[in-house]
Chains A and B, each alone.
Chain A
Amino acid sequence: MPDGRSTYDSSTREPTRMPLIKNGILVEDHFETIADDAPFPTNGSIVSLARFHKDRETLLARNALLGVRLKSGESPEALGEDVLRLSVIVLEFPKFRDGRAFSWARMLRTRLGFTGEIRAVGHFLYDQLAFMHRVGIDAFEVPENITLPEFHRALGEMTDVYQPSADGRKTIRQLRAGA
């Protein structure tokens, strides 16, 4: 990605929307976050956990892509087996110090077997991107100061890792053993 902006067409997006990096490139956000009392749009919707619980039947019956947005205190386990019917799970970082979503992401990938998009939104720092990526977050609603080159720089700061996580990377122990 030479300039970091080439795949991002700002003209088609609302000015208030933040850039979305998914799988390492800037992408168009096809989802709409829906307020709890708003009607659903025809394209993909992201609803709160409360709305999901309230309108579960209707939401799952619709032939549309669906996402649920979890607050940092809401465990993905609250979604039960429905989790596998979702396309996107949005994890909120209310402030960067709140690290619960790191565990939620890892739980989604390893315990619940979720393979859809896990999107981070809210307040997080450049310095957390590599950790977020490791636990299984693959989409990032980034502030303007995190450009695509910066994003990739963050992910590449540490060559190796000591512990397994949801990214399937070989650990230093495995590399030592020549695995």
Chain B
Amino acid sequence: MYRYDEFDARFVKERVAQFRYQVERRLSGELTEDEFKPLRLMNGLYLQLHAYMLRIAVPYGTLSARQLRMLAHIARKYDKGYGHFTTRQNIQFNWPKLVDVPDILDDLATVEMHALQTSGNCIRNVTADHFAGAAADEIEDPRPIAEIIRQWSSLHPEFSYLPRKFKIAVGGAAHDRAALKFHDVAVEIVKNDAGETGYRVYAGGGMGRTPYVGHVVGDFVAKTDILAFLEAVMRVYNQSGRRDNIYKARIKILVNALGPEEMRRQVEREFAEIKTGGTLEVPAEEIARITDYFAPPKFEPLSDASPEFEAARNADANFRAWSDINLSTHRAPGYSIVTISLKPIGGVPGDASHEQLDALADLMDQFGIAEIRVSHEQNLVLPHVRKKDLPAIHTRLAELGLATANAGLVTDIIACPGLDYCDLANARSIPIAQRLSERFADLKRQRDIGELKIKISGCINACGHHHAGHIGILGVDKKGVEFYQLQLGGSGAEDASIGEILGPGFGEHEIVDAVERVVDTYLEKREGSERFLDTVRRLGLEPFKERAYAGWAFHI
């Protein structure tokens, strides 16, 4: 993984000192809260319902064991003993004190971490496919270019006071695991007819109250030109994005107001000029230098079949189920990708305790696993695991409460923090996720249902990605009472789509039953090996609607 040199180390250290001075000026009253707000946000510090929340960047979701231990330390020392992994591959701590935050950042800097640009109207922490470097369907590891983008976007002088936040994701595989088309800008590694790799660039995707799927604005951008191209997109946005209405300020609104063709034309114009200047060219040697940091571990020459693995599968039904569900195909024979579910039945999606974080770091050391990933689905991933080690790893994960077999199933729910923490929320998300998880706890039933992504947001800002859920749930407030709207048919994958609203919202005590009726409808109507999403797309909403609102015809 990437390692800081003296320049990166000094940069982060000075950035912490800069923030420390900002905190001092806030505490002395020199800065008003209004002035301090964007400054603290650019360092990941939010003011929530009950306390400050610090969001720490995990660039492209990659962490070392040493970094996990530091996160455990922070959870213990400055928080209530746990952290919360987010849908942008970051980790949040919900209870830090303002005066402690510069010290937390100093601690993080010792393990090459920071909270840079995890919030605010700037270019946010860059995300990438969480199976990067391990997936069998990958053209190229997306992380080197994500790191190049991270560096370019860090304290960018021109683009730190944008109309609104700006999220960039990078992917490089046939299967889109990074929700590329729902980002302000996405960079997709592609091959052209000549067999060269380059980048397809999308702009204008996003969720929030006006969801859009992104448009292609660059068909095949040369690798050396990617920063010049991104700078061109940013400049068009910074100059022309709306600033009069916070809800219309994202680039998706600009792209759709101009039309994708006009957007492309403006970007091309800027791009041509920036390219002429030449200062943003990324030399091939620089790409190679950064790529070296992400070289995969030396894979042992193993045969793909592992007797230890097969023996454990035959001996232990739990292991068998877990290995069926939570493993993904690795590109090296004899290796596997492990998804560690942070969705225990009835638990809070994405939470991990300091004990779990420390123990995972020990497990990584014990099995020679150099890195762990955070997925945007709020799980953790061990990218390179020998199959023969899986039984022992599973045993240890089970002891830690981290062996839930549900990756990609109905209880692998994404949920935003909702009204339990967030002062933007209209409704609670976590308790709904917990009750759904309990309702569908039976593994046999979950496996029968198959792939089904439920995503829950506690307000229209859509941090829980409900628009991209096969089943999306949106919490709304009706005269002080929480209601939940159902959306069906969304997808954040390569077949990206926005879910359609089923009908009027359900009360807090009705929503779980309603979801169950929707799922039952699928089980009755599905054909062959159709996934839930496929059935919804084939049949449309009507049969689901009829069933979900059975007995309350007066509502429709």
A contacts, CB < 8 Å to B? 75, 96-100, 102-104, 106, 110-111, 125, 127-128, 130-132, 134-135, 145, 157-165, 172-173, 175-177
Nearest CB of chain A from residue B416's CB, rounded to whole Å:
25
In the complex, the answer to whether B7 meets A175 with C-beta atoms within 8 Å is yes
A93 to B159, CA, bound (A): 15
In the complex, the answer to whether A158 meets B155 with C-beta atoms within 8 Å is: yes
Bound state CA distance, A67 and B372, in angstroms?
57
Q: Does B323 contact A (CB under 8 A)?
A: no
26 residue pairs A–B, Cβ–Cβ below 8 Å: A75-B239, A99-B121, A99-B159, A102-B158, A103-B158, A103-B235, A104-B239, A111-B273, A125-B31, A125-B39, A128-B161, A130-B157, A131-B160, A134-B157, A135-B158, A157-B17, A158-B11, A158-B18, A159-B10, A160-B11, A162-B152, A162-B155, A162-B156, A163-B151, A164-B279, A173-B286
Residue of B nearest to A94 (CB): B243
**B residues less than 8 Å from A162 (CB atoms):** 11, 151-152, 154-156
CA distance A155 to B280 in the complex (A): 23
Residue of A nearest to B282 (CB): A173
- Closest-by-CB residue of B relative to A98 is B243
Partner of A163, one of B31, B152, B273: B152
Partner of A165, one of B157, B227, B286: B157
Contact call B35/A125, Cβ cutoff below 8 A: yes
Contact B5 A176 (CB under 8 A): yes
Q: Is the beta-carbon distance between A157 and B5 smaller than 8 angstroms?
A: no
Sort chain B's interface into a size bin. Answer: 35 or more
Within 8 A of A (CB), among B36-74: 38-39
Number of A-B contacts (CB under 8 A): 98
A97 touches B161 (CB 8 A): yes
Contact A99 B161 (CB under 8 A): yes
Please give, as numbers and ranges, the residues of chain A lying within 8 Å of B153 by CB-CB distance: 163
Contact digits for B1-21, partner A, Cβ 8 Å, 1 yes 0 no: 000010110110011011001
Are A99 and B7 within 8 A (Cβ)? Answer: no
Which residues of B are in contact with A by a Cβ distance under 8 Å?
5, 7-8, 10-11, 14-15, 17-18, 21-22, 30-31, 35, 38-39, 121, 151-163, 227, 235, 238-239, 243, 273, 277, 279-280, 286
Q: Chain A's nearest CB lies how many Å from the CB of B103?
A: 19
Chain A nearest Cβ from B23, distance in angstroms: 12
CA distance A157 to B159 in the complex (A): 18
List, in ascending order, chain A residues with CB within 8 A of B18's CB. Answer: 127, 157-158
In the complex, what's the smallest C-beta–C-beta distance from A100 to chain B, in angstroms?
Answer: 6
Partner pick for B277 among A110, A157, A175, CB 8 A cutoff: A110
Given contacts A99-B162, A111-B273, contact A160 B10 (CB under 8 A): yes
* Across-interface contacts of A99 in B (CB, < 8 A): 121, 158-163, 238
In angstroms, Cα B286 to Cα A162, docked, is 13
Bound-state CA distance A111–B269 (Å) is 12
Q: Residue A172 contacts which of B31, B151, B158, B159 (CB distance < 8 angstroms)?
A: B151
Chain B residue with the shortest CB-CB distance to A134: B157
Q: A127-B22, A163-B152 are in contact. Are A158 and B7 (CB under 8 A)?
A: no
A145 to B35, CA, bound (A): 14
A160 touches B17 (CB 8 A): no
Q: Which chain B residues lie closer than 8 Å to A173 at the CB level?
A: 151, 286
CB of A98 within 8 A of CB of B161, answer yes
| Interchain CB contact (< 8 A) of A135 among B154, B157, B239 | B157
Is A127 within 8 A of B39, CB to CB?
yes
Across the two chains, which residue of chain A brings its CB closest to B38? A97
The 4 closest A-B pairs by CB, nearest first: A99-B161, A134-B157, A131-B157, A164-B279
Q: Residues of A contacting B157 with CB < 8 Å?
A: 102, 130-132, 134-135, 161, 163, 165
The residue on A at minimum CB distance from B160 is A131
Closest to A102 in B: B158
- Knowing that A131-B155, A165-B158 touch, tell me 6 more A-B residue pairs with CB under 8 angstroms: A102-B160, A103-B239, A106-B158, A158-B18, A160-B11, A162-B156
A41 CB → nearest B CB, Å: 33
A158–B14 contact, CB under 8 A? yes
Contact call B35/A96, Cβ cutoff below 8 A: yes
Q: Is the CB of A102 within 8 A of B238?
A: yes
Contacts of A161 in B (CB 8 A): 155, 157
